[in-house]
Amino acid sequence: MCRFSTPTACGRHSSRIRPSEAEPLSSGFSSRHGKPGVLASFEPAEVSILRSLVAHVLDLVAPGQTSDDPLERALGIGDAEPPMEPELARLFPAAYEDEQDAAEFRRYTEATLRDGKRADAQTVLDTAKPGAVELTPEQAQAWLRSLNDVRLAFGTRLGVTEEVHDQIDTMSAEDPLYPAYVTYDWLTYLQDSLVRALW
């Protein structure tokens, strides 16, 4: 398996939670029938949840520590140390098993990766609104990347595993964690529908 792949980056959603059976759950994304871009429709509560989660990721990927060297700062060379926060470690995994190689790779790439994640998150914040939403192909790709970041960060906070969707199927609605797990399941569904709409 590629070091950058992850069991929570995509996957099925719970068979128990359907858009018609729970709130907030949208009908997901759809293609524009031969036209470029995708369509979606969101309820106000869905937009509120999505914007909150995306804003959290935006805070997480704020510019990291930079070098004291002006040239290194200009080149975007950053800190080689792996992030201590579990969510950041999930968003920026080590590229190599060797610690020295991983540190060197991180030093030269993490600043650019952070910039990209912030740009994607900002695109979602700029375009997510209640009602009908039309996204260009470029905006849809930014949504796809940002939804993946949101799921990785949120899933890390919840401590989800590959069995998360089976857990939801057997979880009581009275469980205090049920709303959070349903939200994670919705994010899975939303991301999957966007992939299908794009391809």
In the DSSP assignment, the letter for residue 19 is T
For residue 135, give every residue at least 6 positions away whose Cβ sits within 8 Å of its Cβ, in sequence order, or none: 37, 38, 39, 40, 127, 143
**Per-residue pLDDT at 21:** 39
Strand partners, 131: 42
For residues 86 and 49, what is the distance between their CA atoms, to the nearest angstrom? 22
**Per-residue pLDDT at 193:** 96
For residues 191 and 144, what is the distance between their CA atoms, to the nearest angstrom? 6
**Per-residue pLDDT at 128:** 98
**Per-residue pLDDT at 40:** 96
**Per-residue pLDDT at 78:** 63
For residues 88 and 110, what is the distance between their CA atoms, to the nearest angstrom? 11
Secondary structure class of 121 (helix, strand, coil): helix
Domain locations in the chain as residue ranges: 30-198
Q: State the pTM of this model.
A: 0.80
Q: Residue 115: which of 86, 92, 136, 97 has the closest Cα?
A: 92
- Mean pLDDT, consecutive 10-residue segments, the chain of 199 residues? 33 41 66 91 95 97 67 58 89 92 88 95 98 97 98 94 81 90 93 95
* 8 Å CB contact between 26 and 41: yes
For residues 94 and 102, what is the distance between their CA atoms, to the nearest angstrom? 6
